[in-house]
Structure 1
């Protein structure tokens, strides 16, 4: 009978991990269906191993699972220009490991309830963020300057050209021929409009914008 319970735990860990992984897979995230299934399976099996070893504490092994999943989550985080991608996927891997651990401890209801809540967060809350909350992505703007351009003057003109944008960081190249800005533009402002405004500034030779 115990073997059937263990088999049920392993199967349930795989199914719950697959539920979250499928959502990530459908959204073309770097860690998808197989990754989340394996994370949940591994966390569940580690917890089971700790529970059945004589004199061992399953919570101690569960703590090591949390440490190990941090390295896997770090691999899902990507940098694209001034923006960071993959934080939500890294968090979903962390939650999936917790679900697998709960299944290994036979906490059936918390494991299933957490899976349902995680799916609601990934789908419903994402819709609310997209439709109801303002979305201001970071832009990395590189301005190539004319040889005789004054950096302080160009920087002031940039502030005037983008009055409703938040300039979070300003840096200069070693040669003084490039100005790099990290900015949060106003919602709805297209990249072409931003590029056109900056290209028309005195002393600016070229504009490159990346997200």
Structure 2
């Protein structure tokens, strides 16, 4: 997930090709992809070496102090992932297309890769909602972009929890608040709560 920011004064700003907003701050979830140059001192096999070993080849390192796992895995090309939640094992099997043989072959899927694939659709959906409900700001203070990025993240997640629990209770769907109304009522409740404290 990217927090949009085009200022030039921050060292943690990144450019990630292919993103709707390629300049900004990379926000990590349970597991996420990472560019090779963002892993200084982490000596993982390069793409050429993994390609020689074949589809499904991988290399990994574990930073034991903070329990961070860095993995480079080769499918049709090499990709690097970082996680504090998942590691390599248990290995799974999946049928992937092999370009050279022009057929499907069984490829070992790492636990960290499986977890990433399982949750990436949720991240994409969150990005979609954030694009619809994003706060528009202009500032040279980079930390304001991060603050106003996480406000709608919390709002979207709260809305998802509300809809899940609402449906779980078997309540009529027609009466369920849409996302815009939920956001409006949530904001009003927070403002009124603060005003009541000041009156008291």
Same fold per superposition (TM over 0.5):
no
TM-score by length of 2: 0.26
Structure of higher CA gyration radius? 1
Higher helix share: 1
Higher strand share: 2
TM-score by length of 1: 0.25
Higher RCO structure, 1 or 2 (CA under 8 Å, sep 6+)? 1
